[in-house]
Each structure stands twice: as C-alpha cells, then as structure tokens.
Amino acid sequence: MNARGSDPQVVAPATPGRVVDASKLDLPAAERAALDLLRAIGADIDSPGLVGTPRRVAASFAELVTPAEFAATSFANENGYDELVIARDIPFHTLCMHHLLPFFGQAHVAYVPGEKIVGISKLGRVVEAFARDLQLQERMTVQIADWLEETLKPRGVGVVLSAEHTCMTIRGVRKPGTRTVTSAVRGSLRDDPRARQELFSLVE
C-alpha cells in the first residue's frame, strides 16, 4: 500500500509522433557531419579551440534528442477530487526542427481528475519526454495534452507553453525577449467558460 491508500498503477509513457528515433543514433556519423559543417562554414578545424568540437557536438545533440525513460505512476482517485491540479512553471528546453536552434521556457500542465490521479512529479517528466526531440512549440503543446488525455482519461486537460525561440531572438528578426505562448485545452476546461477562465488566470 502507498501513501494514497491504494496500489499504484504503472503506466508506460507513450511518445507517439517522434521525429527522432534515438535508437538509430550514429555518433561517429554525427561527429563526421559536425566536422564537415565546420569546414563548410570556413572554420579553421586545426585551431586548438576546435579540437574535440565535432565529438562534443555529436554528444550534445544525442543528449538533446534522447528522452529519459520513466514510469508514470497513477493512483485511484479514491476521494473523488474533481478540481484543477496544476504544475506551473515547469522549465524545458528543446530544439526547433526548422533551424536546429534551441527554444526554451516554461510549461504549465493542468488536469481535472477522473478516476485516476498521477504523481505530481510525472507532469514534469512528461514535459521533458516530449522536449527531447526536434520540436515545434505548437506540436509539443498538443502532444503533452494528448498524452494526459489518453493516459489518465481526465475530465479536463489544459497545457500552456511560454517560450523564447533563439531562431527569432539571435537571428532573422532578432527580437530578444519575445515569447510565444501556445495552449491546448480539452474536456471541461474547453467546454466550461468558467473552468477555462480559472485555468488561464492561474497560469498567468
């Protein structure tokens, strides 16, 4: 028995629609590609500061696109809790699939329980699982909401991501400090205007 009074159910996290299959990572090929890129941009590959850079680049990308495995432990909602559960300001970073540059920010993840509740730390784990891929912010927002809906069968789901995209802040239009906000709401948090307003007031 656990602290919530029932045996936990371990739910395997599903991460459908991944762009990168981490099981197919080829680090030597990635290292060679990084070396070719340095040559292509006119870098002096014999410079002491670049010794080992291709290896480090390959290792960095491998880390950024390989999700950590975890078990999403859920529990019976024995007390019939039917109000919002929100994990706010979950930090994340990921890679923009258009430019391979980072975007980073905070995720706010909320749900209204049905028959199951999930360990709070697992809401952060879910964000991390989907961040370890080549991403679009809109896509990642929907993926997190879909996972919650499919795994917990809650009454409502709300996911809000606020992020700064370096492909916009350090290149192109170059507007540092600009943040992009995306949301996905399902069930009662979509259909009930009061519940929707409560969600957005709590994550502002």
Could you give all domains of the chain from N- to C-terminal order, each with its CATH number?
Answer: 26-64 (1.10.286.10), 74-203 (3.30.1130.10)
Cα dihedral 155, 161, 162, 166 in deg (nearest 10): 180
- Say what the pLDDT of residue 71 is: 81
72, exposed or middle or buried, with CB in 10 Å at 0-12, 13-18, 19+?
A: buried
Stated length of the chain: 204
Strand segments (E) across 77-171? 85-96, 102-112, 116-118, 134-135, 156-165
Q: Which residues of 150-165 are buried (b: 16+ CB within 10 A; e: fewer)?
A: ebbebbbbbbbbbbbb
- Say what the pLDDT of residue 73 is: 82
pLDDT over threshold 70, residue 118: yes
**Stretch (H or E) spanning 182:** strand 180-187
Helix (H, G, I), strand (E, B) or coil at 28: helix
- Say what the pLDDT of residue 7 is: 47
Averaged pLDDT for residues 135-149: 96
pLDDT digits (tens, 9 = 90+) for 84-114: 999 999 999 999 999 999 999 999 999 999 9
- Say what the pLDDT of residue 5 is: 45
pLDDT band at residue 16 using 50, 70 and 90 as cut-offs: low
Residue 17: which of 164, 104, 169, 147 has the closest Cα? 147
Long-range contacts of 168-171 (CB under 8 A, 24+ apart): 170/101, 171/99, 171/101
Task: Give me the amino acid identity at 83.
Answer: E
The pTM of the whole model exceeds 0.85:
yes
